[in-house]
Amino acid sequence: MSTTVIREVAKDVWIFSCPFARFGVIPFGGRSTAIKLSNGDVWLLASTPADTQTKEKLNELGPVKYIVGADAVHHLYLGDYKKAYPEAKLISVDEAIAKKKEEGLKFDGSFDSQDKFGFEDDIKHCYFSGYKNKDVAFFHPASKSMIEADLLLNLPAKEQYSKTGSSGAIPIIDSFSPFSWAQMNPYSWAHKKFAWSLGVDKEAMKRDVKTVAGWDFERIIPCHGDVIETDAKKAWEAVYQYYI
Cα-based distances in Å from 166 to 21, 23, 207: 12, 17, 39
CA distance 57 to 189: 38
Q: For position 226, what pLDDT does the model report?
A: 96
Whole-number Å distance between alpha carbons of 199 and 191: 13
Does residue 195 fall inside a structural domain? yes
Separation CA 138–CA 202 (nearest Å): 20
Residue 97 has pLDDT above 80, yes or no: yes
pLDDT band at residue 176 under the 50/70/90 scheme: very low
* 115 found inside a domain: no
Look at the chain and report how many structural domains it folds into. Answer: 1
- CATH number of the CATH domain containing 90: 3.60.15.10
Model confidence at 179: pLDDT above 70: no
Per-residue pLDDT at 175 exceeds 90: no
Residue 118 lies in a domain: no
Beta bridge partners of 18: 30
Distances (CA, A) of 83 to 1, 77, 88, 115: 23, 10, 10, 24
Q: Which domain range does residue 213 map to? A: 5-109+126-239
228 vs 172: CA distance, rounded Å: 24
Q: What is the mean pLDDT of residues 165-182?
A: 52
Checking 101-106 for CB contacts under 8 A at 24+ apart, the result is 103/79, 105/78, 105/79
55 domain residue, yes or no: yes
pLDDT over 50 at 106, yes or no: yes
pLDDT over threshold 90, residue 219: yes
Q: 116 in a domain, yes or no?
A: no
